[in-house]
Structure 1
Amino acid sequence: MPGIIRSIAVGLFAFAALTPPGTSAEVTLSGFLQQNTAFNTVTENPDGRHYKWLEERAQLKLDATGGAWRVLLKGEVAYDHLGRQDESELREGYVDYAARNWDLRAGRQVITWGLGDLVFVNDVFPKDHEALFAGRPLEYLKRGVDAVKLGVYPGLASFELVVAPTFRESRTPDPNRFWLFDPLPAVTNRTTVKPEQGDAGLRVYRDIAGYDAAMYLYRGFHRTPSMRPDSMLAPTKITYFYPKLFIYGASLSGRAGGGVLNLEAAFYDSRQDRSGSDFTVPNSQTRVLVGYQIQPVEDLSLNFQYYAERMHAYDSYRGALPAGFPAEKRVNHYFTARATQLLQHQTLRLSVYASYNASNGDYFVTPELRYSFTDHLWGAVGANFFGGKPWGQFGQLSQNDNVYLQLRHEF
């Protein structure tokens, strides 16, 4: 907590220094207290515990605006009962400056690109997959990135440039808490090498005939690590690394019939192994997403998605794959659906999300019930169910089914 208080004090000092004398200013301080528990329904964790998540958490948020400037700080402290104990984190912390036709944001910030619902085509920024699978509130799926974001609005189109001087990876499930597929479980000597440089992305967007159109460029690295053994015959060490990546993408969204149609596509250029001959580096891919959201009756919304991934240089990939390693499909077809129903004057929310990979049988289902007791107190109960091939994205998690509880008091 002292670190969070120091951050808020620094933020107030920075805001006072940036705001011109005589400018009207507004400063708000808010936050929440939260309890979050997720317990297993199939078996205990690899470390012998019976909970995926068990913690109390507090957040303080400072939001100060004055003239063209804004300072936002969002810090959290938590006590984890499963071994991590005291934790603190700066979720977001940035300074904004807004001019007439451009603006600038510098610091830790959560950025979302693309249109997918838990399907990420052009959303290149870091995620927290452990948070999603352990029943934490959905806001924790996104991790902040330390970057400078420049927005320019000349009229023809809008431009958003994001430059991060250091790379920040996505968080994957902790192998002490989650059962995961491991092709080389006997090798315990493992190390991780992170990129020594940052990454950058550009989004260009505008309205075209009533549709929101965007183009995306990204130069950086895969957010989840690849595994490289020192020898395939008798491996003694495994190195995790983040392969280089270019992404070129586009999206289009607008009204169609009685709902909203979303179209999105991207080419993932695996610039570290374009030939596909290195099995430790993901091959280049084409990704396509088609989504449709509709509200058939009041307080009921439905969202359907079709998503496909096509691997390039597939023959080279199969030729380089070591014997005994499971092979990925050339094309994967996914179908997702989400239904959300609001009841009792919108204080009760029932929702369910399901994802199914028709190519290998992988599935992920997460139902949730959330109730707002007051304007400041809400609670939720939900579950995460996984299944499929033992090496699949969700199939490897089949022993990690869990039920979760969330309770939050906001102030």
Structure 2
Amino acid sequence: MKSQATLLAVLMSLASAHAQEPPPLPAGLGSSSAETQDDKDEEQSGAPALPSGLGESQAPALPAGLSGEEQSETQLAEPDEPFEAPFGLTGFIEARAGVRIVSDPYEKQLSIGEVRAQLGRDIETRHATFHVVGDLYYDQVEDVSDVNLETGRGFFDLREANVLVRPLDFLDIKAGRQILTWGVGDLVFINDLFPKDYRSFFIGRDDEYLKAPSDAVRASVFNDIANVEFVYTPRFDADRSITGERLSYYNPALGRIAGRDAVINAMTPDDWFSDDEFAARAYRNIAGFEAALYGYMGYWKTPEGQTPLGTPFHPKLSVFGGSLRGPVKGGILTAEFGRYFSGDDKDGDNPFIRNGETRFLVGYEKEIANELTAAIQYNGEVISDYAALKSSLPPGASAPDRMRHVVTLRLTKLMLNQNLTLSGFNFWSPNEKDGYFRFRASYKLTDAWLAEAGGNIFYGADNNTFFGQFENNTNLFVGIRRNF
């Protein structure tokens, strides 16, 4: 018994010793002290040397630019923080410059030279959404200081200022200044009787400026039968058309091209709730095609009439039409027509007021190669009371063709991972023998920066046709934009 007690005491003593010191690890897995050991210590410990960089107490150096330490002068600088406008504003800053490449004795050689900043802001509440967009800019060509929100001249252009409410699940109402568009034409507008800005279009501003703002109330009704839109404009909104202040044109009274020497000052209807406009559209999908019907009551958007004293004015106009758009054989087919009723020349026998017309178009768009899209379109305009018009012309005056034909072709190519966009659009009238070719090249430098260059080329056999009269306005331009 005494020997067993002695053996038990020895075992307990060994167990206590092992509990105080951990068992040794296999060779090579043991760790030394926090201090770095020299080669002599490694030999004594029996552990193999780790590869260079793995046995050090400090972490390996990170590549340049990834460490939190300050970089030396030879290291690359960190990218700038993205610019954010205050108060939640969005928009862009851009500069554009362009020159005429054809001599024009009635206009400046500089076609565009401006710096523009567009600022926008959306404010959403529980019951409404408020939207405001305005442009501040300096225009070297016109250099007009007085602001005119109707013509877009001055140092400020209010593009949009409206409120959107949804009082019912099936009803939207937007009231205020807004950009409106409908129809299926590609830069050909038949039932879209909302104002356009052809001055901006012809001098090289961004395509968004082709659409001028409307001061209107739009009500949209949604249902299973058809969606319906009503637009009421309490005061007539004319096109921002060619007047001679910036672009030259053919003046029939002078029988020649004119510009700053014969600026057009048209009589424009401007009485609230008296000189108003009304437009409506009903549309729905039918077998994969979007079909629409349109109606309009108002005035010609350009001054298509002339008083006995020779003052241009906007005659009354009513339009009824329809459109169709849908997929056909891997592309998109479009068709549209409109019947124009000239309210101040119902019989068509007044040579100083534009006659009624029937307008139509047929178009087709398809991707014809990898990231290359082509779109072709035919547009016709037929004078309604052609015989009455011819008989009313003064002696020696020539009558226009009863029908005007226009063929358009658009080509768009995306390159360099879609950062580069090349596009060309050509209008050509075979009967008037004139046309207009516009081309663009835009390159996305970064997500924020965009560079653009292009031109507007007008050509024609005669100087009194629609595109031929603008031949002296042919120009090239460049632009740079910073979005935020």
Q: Are residues 1:204 and 2:282 paired?
A: yes
Change (3 A) 1:326 1:70: farther
Aligned counterpart, 1:384 = 456
**1:152-171 alignment, distance < 5 Å:** 152-171=221-240
Match of 2:158 among 86, 90, 103: 90
Size of the alignment, in residue pairs?
A: 378
The Cα of 1:407 is off from its aligned counterpart by: 1.3
Match of 2:414 among 342, 345, 365: 342
Match of 1:41 among 101, 104, 108: 101
Q: Which runs of 5+ in 2 are unaligned?
A: 1-86, 146-154, 256-260
Computing the radius of gyration from Cα coordinates, the structure with the larger value is 2
Change (3 A) 1:349 1:323: farther
Aligned counterpart, 2:139 = 80
The Cα of 1:31 is off from its aligned counterpart by: 1.4
Aligned counterpart, 1:365 = 437
Aligned counterpart, 1:110 = 179
The Cα of 1:402 is off from its aligned counterpart by: 0.4
* 8 Å Cα contact 2:277/2:298 also seen in 1: yes
* 8 Å Cα contact 2:177/2:215 also seen in 1: yes
Partners of 1:400 and 1:323 in 2: how far apart? 32
* 8 Å Cα contact 1:69/1:96 also seen in 2: yes
Bigger relative CO (Cα 8 Å, ≥ 6 apart): 1
Change (3 A) 1:386 1:323: farther
Partners of 2:293 and 2:251 in 1: how far apart? 37
Aligned counterpart, 1:246 = 318
The Cα of 1:297 is off from its aligned counterpart by: 2.8
Deviates more, 1:179-188 or 1:264-273: 179-188
Partners of 1:169 and 1:217 in 2: how far apart? 18
Identity %: 34
- Specify the code of the residue in structure 2 equivalent to 1:153: F
Change (3 A) 1:260 1:284: same
Aligned counterpart, 1:129 = 198
Spell out, residue by residue over 1:159-215, the C-alpha distance to the aligned partner (whole angstroms, 9 max, x if none).
Answer: 000000001110112413322100113996975321231101000000111110000
* 8 Å Cα contact 2:244/2:263 also seen in 1: no
Partners of 2:475 and 2:398 in 1: how far apart? 27
Partners of 1:365 and 1:79 in 2: how far apart? 28
The Cα of 1:321 is off from its aligned counterpart by: 2.1
The Cα of 1:45 is off from its aligned counterpart by: 5.2
Aligned counterpart, 2:339 = 267
Partners of 1:327 and 1:312 in 2: how far apart? 14
The Cα RMSD (Å) is 1.7
Match of 1:147 among 190, 211, 216: 216
Q: Give the match's secondary structure for 1:169.
A: coil
* 8 Å Cα contact 1:191/1:238 also seen in 2: no
The Cα of 1:52 is off from its aligned counterpart by: 1.3
* 8 Å Cα contact 1:366/1:385 also seen in 2: yes
Partners of 2:425 and 2:252 in 1: how far apart? 30
Partners of 1:325 and 1:132 in 2: how far apart? 32
Aligned counterpart, 1:12 = none
Q: Which runs of 5+ in 1 are unaligned?
A: 1-26, 231-236
Q: Are residues 1:179 and 2:248 paired?
A: yes
Q: Give the match's secondary structure for 1:384.
A: strand
